[in-house]
Structure 1
Amino acid sequence: MSVQPSEFEGKTITCKAAIAWGPGEDLSVEDVEVAPPKANEVRIKILYTGVCHTDAYTLSGKDPEGAFPVIW
């Protein structure tokens, strides 16, 4: 399989992201800018995702290691 260069290669892109600004707050869907990958990094297109119980635990504010804001 060969990989073709994307029109976005080396460029900053704008994506939708679910952001938690603080514990117990509703998620906010916002536009975010994603920089091009650096050395030894890749940028992939996510088509579908979900929130698992550990995400919900962090969002609740009960996770002592939880740090905000969180971007999904």
Structure 2
Amino acid sequence: MNRDRAEHILIEADWVAELVLGGFDMTIETSEGRALYERAFTAYVRKEIGDLPVASLYDALKSSAGAVAP
């Protein structure tokens, strides 16, 4: 996975999770809101990366070369 793809996935996951919170009129400032945000964020990331370890996203972000083997 390359760095740009990892950034894109994490940014979109945050956007989707915020959208879900707004749909339920919740904020991340409550424990219920944080739990919902985490579930939505994780579900989006899993949909995008499949069986790859989530750590591969963060490894790609740290990579100066911009690519990490899957």
TM-score, scaled to structure 2: 0.20
Larger Rg: 1
Q: Normalising to structure 1: TM-score of the pair? A: 0.19
Q: Which has the higher contact order (CA 8 A, sep 6+)?
A: 2
More strand by share: 1
